Amino acid sequence: MPAQLTARPSDIPLQNLYNLLEPITVPKKKARFRNWGRSFICTPSAIFEPENEFQCELVLELARREGKKLRVSAVGHSPSDLAMTNEYMLRTTKLNRILEINTEKRYVVAQGGITLNDLNAQLAKNNLAMINLGSISEQSLAGVVATATHGSGISYGAISTNVIALSLLLADGSRVTCSRSEHSDLFMASLCGLGATGIILSVQLLLEPAFRLKEVQESRPFEDVVRDMDKLVHSAEHVRFWWFPTKDTIRCSYSNRTSEPNNPAGSWFWGTFFGYHVVQFLLFVGRYFSTVNVWTANLACWLLGGRTEGVDDSYNIFNVDCRYPQHTTEWAIPYENTQACLRDFRDYLSKELQNPQGLRPHFPVEIRFSAADDIWLSPGYGQATTWIGIVQYKPYGFNVPYRRLFQAFEEIVIRHQGRPHWAKAHPLGIEGLRKLYPHFDDFRRVLDKVDPDAIFRNEYVERHIMGKQIDPRLFRAFKKGS
C-alpha cells in the first residue's frame, strides 16, 4: 500500500489530498442534492462519495483545512432541510456493507450508509430481523438512528433504542466507539444526534430471530376508535391507524407475530392500478378543483373498506407504499393527550369541510404509537407517545398548497405538548425545544465538546439547536406548478 494511504490525514500535503479525493468527488455539474419529497434542494460546493472509512477521514481533513462545514447525508429521505448544505457534503451511499452478523447473540454491525431495505434482505438470509420498523425502509441506517425514527407499537421504542453501540468519526479526526457504558453522554446524544455529533461509521444493532406478522385491518367510525383508544392500542403488538376525515372513518391495523405461513393480502388491480394511478390522477385534478380531493379521499377509503387478513415477513407488513412525493409533517404528543388532540383536529377539519372556501386536504392522517425512551432528543423521551402525521401529495411532481393546513395542525399539536419529528420541517426554535427536552442543554454541551469549530453543524442544526436566525426556506425547491 502506498505510504500516502497509511499516513495520517493531517500529514498529507494539500495537493496530494486533492488528488486522493478526486476519484470520489462528484462532478461539479452533478453536484446538486434534492430530498425524496422534492421539497428542498441544495448545491454544495463539493459532494464526496467515499467508499471506505479512510476516505471519510480525508474528506474531514479537507473540510478542517479549508474551514468548510461538512454535512453527512445518504439518500435524502428527510422531508426537511436536515441534510442540506451549500458547503461540503459527504454522501454515505457507498458505505453500505455488513461488517458482522452474530446469529447467536442476535446483533448486526453495519456501516451507517446501508439502507434498511438492503439490511432487511441481508438479515433475512441469516434468519434474523429488526425488532421494529417504520413505514418505509428507503432510509439509511445512520439516518434512522440520527433522527430517532420510529415504527408503531406501544411497547416498542424508537429504532434507536435497539442500538447497542456506535462507531463515530469525530470532528478532530479521531474515532470513538460509544455505548451506554462507554462514552455514554456521546452515545445518548448521538442516538438522536441530527448528524451533528460526528460521522456515524457503523452501528451495532440488536435483532431478533426472523419472524412473520399477521396483520388484521378493519375500518371503524372515528368516534368508536377514539372512545376505545386505549383498549385498541394495547390489543396487538403493533397497532397503527389511518384516519380519513371526509368519511369520519379510521382504518385500523393490528399486527402480531405468528407461525402461520405467508399469505399476503391485497391485489395488483386495487392496490396498484386504482390505488396508485387513478388516485394520483384525481389528486392532480384536485389541484384545480379542490372538491375532487373529497371524492378522492372517499374513493381511497372505499378501496380500503372491509376486513382483511394477511401474513408476511415482518418488514413487508411494517412497510407501506409512500406513493408519491409529498409535503409532510409529523408530531409526537404524550399518549394521554391523544383523544383530546384528535378531537381538536377533527373539529378544525370539520369546519374547513363545511366552509365552501375551506381547505380540502389530502389523506390519510397517520396515527402510530411508541413506548417511552431515555434518548436525550428523542420525541419519545420520558413518555409513551402518539405520533400524528399529515401529508399533502405532489401528484406527478406538481406542487400543492400545504402551509395553511400545516400551520393549523402545528398549532393544535403544540397545544397538546407536541414534539416535532426531527426529520420533518417544523417551526420550533431553541426556546420552545428547550422546554420540551430536559437534556436539550446537555446535548448542546456535547456538541461544543466534540465539535468546537461547528464543522458538522449545517443550517438546520444552527437554526433549531443553536438558535441562529436562519431562513427555514433557504433551501426550498420551487418546482413546477408552485
Distance CA 313, CA 264 (A): 9
Nearest residue to 378 via CA among 192, 180, 134:
192
Its sign, for the CA torsion 188, 191, 196, 202, is: positive
Q: List phi, psi (to 5°) of 167.
A: -105, 120
Q: Which fold has domain 212-420?
A: Vanillyl-alcohol Oxidase; Chain A, domain 3 (3.40.462)
Distance CA 57, CA 177 (A): 16
Nearest residue to 76 via CA among 31, 138, 159:
138
Question: What per-residue confidence (pLDDT) applies to 482?
Answer: 41
C-beta separation of 159 from 191 below 8 A:
no
Residue listed under C-alpha cell 397538546 = 416
Nearest residue to 244 via CA among 361, 410, 399:
361
Q: Which of these CATH numbers, 3.40.50.300, 3.60.21.10, 3.30.465.10, 3.40.50.620, describes 98-210?
A: 3.30.465.10
pTM above 0.75, yes or no: yes
Distance CA 23, CA 407 (A): 45
User: C-alpha cell of 438?
Assistant: 430536559
User: C-alpha cell of 471?
Assistant: 431562513
Question: What per-residue confidence (pLDDT) applies to 271?
Answer: 59
Distance CA 97, CA 117 (A): 13
Residues of the chain with CATH 3.30.465.10: 98-210
Question: What per-residue confidence (pLDDT) applies to 270?
Answer: 54
Angle at the Cα of 380 (from 216 to 243), degrees rounded to 5? 40
Question: What per-residue confidence (pLDDT) applies to 275?
Answer: 74
Residues of the chain with CATH 3.40.462.10: 212-420
Q: Which residues contact 54 (CB under 8 A, 6 or more apart)?
A: 5
Nearest residue to 192 via CA among 173, 166, 213:
166
**Exposure of 188 by Cβ count < 10 A (0-12 exposed, 13-18 middle, 19+ buried)?**
buried
Query: Pairing state of beta strands 70-73 and 88-91?
Result: parallel
Q: Is the peptide bond before 364 cis (omega within 30 degrees of 0)?
A: yes
Q: Could you read off the pLDDT tens digit of each residue along the chain, which spans 482 residues? A: 444 456 789 999 999 999 999 999 999 999 999 998 888 999 999 999 999 999 999 999 999 999 999 999 999 888 899 999 999 999 999 999 999 999 999 999 999 999 999 999 999 999 999 999 999 999 999 999 999 999 999 999 999 999 999 999 999 999 999 999 999 999 999 999 999 999 999 999 999 999 999 999 999 999 999 999 999 999 999 999 999 999 999 999 999 999 999 999 875 555 566 678 889 999 999 999 999 999 999 999 998 888 999 999 999 999 987 778 899 999 999 999 999 999 999 999 999 999 999 999 999 999 999 999 999 999 999 999 999 999 999 999 999 999 999 999 999 999 999 999 999 989 999 999 999 999 999 999 999 999 999 999 999 999 999 999 999 999 987 544 44
Question: What per-residue confidence (pLDDT) applies to 4?
Answer: 46
